[in-house]
Amino acid sequence: MKNYKYIFTFIILLFGWTSCMDQYTEVFTAYSPVYMSYADLRSAVKETASRDLVNTGKIYFKDDYIFINERFEGVHIIDNSTPSNPVKVGFIEIPGNVDIAIKNNILYADSYVDLVAIDISDVNNIEEVDREEDVFPYTVPPTENDDYRIAEVDEEKGVVTAWEIKKVRQDMEYHYYPVYWGAKYEVDMMNYATDAAGAVPQGTTFGIGGSMARFGLYDDYLYVVDQSTLYIFDIKTDNNPKDIGKQNVGWNIETMFIYDNHMFFGTSSGMIVFSLEVPTYPNYIGQFWHVTSCDPVVVSDGYAYVTLRGGNTCGGSVNRLDVLQLSDNYSDNKLLASYPMVGPYGLGIDDQTLFVCDGEAGLKVYDATDKLNIDDHLLSSFPGINAYDVIPVNGNLFMIGEDGFYQYDYSDLQNITLLSFIQVENNE
């Protein structure tokens, strides 16, 4: 009986030991979240004095103003009524902001999990006029590197605005925290032109942007896309956006371009096309697949221009410009030509003039009339600039690069000239 007693005791201890192992804790150095409460988030939008450009993201143009995103912090307002002398006139604090779009006098911006509508009719007296709460997924900002694990995040405490490195003690369970979409895709910007880019008259309903963003405007609707989901907002009443639903549109989506009643998504593996015939439910039309890479897209007059960039978060190793010939209904699209590049990012098209930001190789300007020999028709190049994205508008080219915001006059393609420059300040 004693032997049975010992065996029974051993079994009890064994179960107790394994039970404890299921819930063990560990002390380790980690990226620990810094929170902003939801109450503070929803009372944070305000205009402040102009500040230096430091960590720039998207650029956007509306009437005589340039809007430059300061990633996760807000938007710079620049009076561009005199392009040779742009003036910073203010800054809109919008925590968690990465993307913007403007219809009439209302600026729409993401603020972590919320969409905010801001009245900018008087840039000296901006005002938040509406907010759709909890319409975007809960995500976290990127860490500086992968040296440490990420500590557990408590969504009830608010949004994560930053990370601090410290020792933490927690139960060891695996957690996946989606990084705030677009955060690691160096610069995400987008073109909202409803006709040909570069032909946007003063005072039009929509502003325009670059080639690499996730916000788009069409008719009475605002579209926002993350890596796989399209969020749709009714903006018939500009200052009162309404969340009307969402739909799955693919995977690994990086950019969105709206043109000719269609929506063109650039993904890490190709271009996907949706019809906007029914704006509240975009309909899949077709796709074009390519090797894995980062992939902004612009479209004009039956052709799509796609830059493919390998490395970084995109994967792959291909760096090139693809020209696609589009079918009448955009369902059967064919590769027409490819041209080698160094490390291309965004691009823009105005009639037959193509602007390509080729990373460290700088800005390149081509006559794209002959689609089969574009590389033989380089009009101008601006090396020594780490170029990210461009907006061509009526002879003025707005460009954002690693070191600042540039404006060029390209009304004479044989003599493209620099009009002005606003430097990005190093905050290290």
Intervals of the chain under pLDDT 70: 1-24, 172-177, 180-204, 212-213, 291-293, 311-316, 427-428
Sole residue written with tokens 């792959």: 316
Q: How far apart are CA 394 and CA 392, in angstroms?
A: 7
Task: Provide the sign of the torsion angle of the four alpha carbons 151, 152, 155, 156, taken in this order.
Answer: negative
Written as six digits, the tokens of 47 are 């205009």
Q: How far apart are CA 315 and CA 328, in angstroms?
A: 32
CA 135 to chain centre: 17
Q: How far apart are CA 259 and CA 301, in angstroms?
A: 10
pLDDT of residue 295: 76
Q: Let me know the angle formed at the C-alpha of 231 by 228 and 236, rounded to the nearest 5 degrees.
A: 155
Contact 106, 121 (CB under 8 A): no
Q: How far apart are CA 210 and CA 296, in angstroms?
A: 10
> What topology does CATH give the domain 181-423?
Methylamine Dehydrogenase; Chain H (2.130.10)
Cross-strand pairs, 119? 106, 127
Written as six digits, the tokens of 422 are 């606003």
Question: For the chain, first and last CA: distance in Å?
Answer: 74
pLDDT of residue 260: 95
Q: How many CB atoms lie within 10 A of CB 48?
A: 10
Contact 129, 106 (CB under 8 A): yes
pLDDT tens figures, 26-59: 888 999 999 999 999 999 999 999 999 999 998 9
Write 43-47 long-range contacts (CB < 8 A, 24+): 44/93, 44/94, 44/95, 44/111, 45/92, 45/93, 45/94, 45/111, 45/116, 45/118, 45/128, 46/92, 46/93, 47/90, 47/91, 47/92, 47/93, 47/124, 47/125, 47/126
Q: How far apart are CA 288 and CA 36, in angstroms?
A: 42
DSSP 17: H
Contact 247, 253 (CB under 8 A): no
Written as six digits, the tokens of 276 are 């906007």
pLDDT of residue 232: 98
What does each C-alpha distance from 164 to 31, 160, 260, 323 come to in angstroms? 5, 11, 46, 45
Sole residue written with tokens 């143009």: 61
Contact 357, 347 (CB under 8 A): yes
pLDDT of residue 313: 60
